[in-house]
Copies of this chain bind each other. A is one copy, B any other.
Amino acid sequence: MSTAGAVRAGSERRDEILAIAAELFAERGFAATTVRDIGDAAGILSGSLYHHFDSKESMADELVHELLDRVLAAYRRIVATDDDPERALRALVHEAFSAIATDRATVAVMVNEWSLFTQYPRFAYLRGIEEETERLWVTVIDRGVDTGVFRAGLDARMVYRLLRDAIWVSVRWYDPKGDDTADEIADAYLAVLLDGVAGARRGAVR
């Protein structure tokens, strides 16, 4: 009956508390958020949180792990399904921005606390997920170079990092109530990435 992957199935109350914790972690930072803050926001005492969770860390762990499992699964589907490199890259970028739209707080936690979390053994899986993600994106970029739709001589790994960093950190200024939807930002970023900002044909490497 469980929908879970790596993560324990959760009651509704649990999920509710997790969502509250995510908002607080995103807003104040993981370290600066106390279990009392979370309890207060959830309308219970801090001690009662430990009926649902082992520790403050495990809350962040569940949030981030569950998100990344979902995103990675989507990446896998895209790369396995779509043979066209440009369309696949577009889909990957839209998928990431979609996660920012649907799970803003958790993405913010991931982005802001990445350096912190990757220090702890409990978050060791982050490396694995990050490696597979890189492999998938780089595969798509390399395919594009092979088929000639992307420029020859491109450093796929560097392009991936540029894009990954720019996309995820946008969660820091992304405003769900703002003028631009996540898909619109995705398209704007893709426009720059694919065609560049230079207006006139240049005597460059192409």
Contacts and interface: CB of A to CB of B under 8 A. Distances in A.
B204 A195 contact: yes
B201 A201 contact: yes
Contacts of A145: 199
A112 interface: yes
Contact of A172 (B115, B151, B185, B199): B115
A139 interface: no
Interface string A189-206: 101111111111110111
A26 B160 CA distance: 24
A180 to B, nearest CB: 8
Given A31-B29, A197-B193, A161 B148 contact: no
A149 interface: yes
Contacts of A28: 116, 119
A145 B198 CA distance: 9
A188 B155 contact: yes
B198 A192 contact: no
A108 B162 CA distance: 16
Contact of A152 (B151, B166, B199): B199
A68 to B, nearest CB: 17
A159 B192 CA distance: 8
A104 to B, nearest CB: 13
A118 B166 CA distance: 20
A141 B28 CA distance: 33
A196 B199 contact: no
Interface string A141-178: 10011001111101100110111011011101100000
A114 to B, nearest CB: 7
A4 interface: no
Given A116-B32, A165-B169, A170-B165, A195 B196 contact: yes
A192 B162 contact: yes
A163 to B, nearest CB: 8
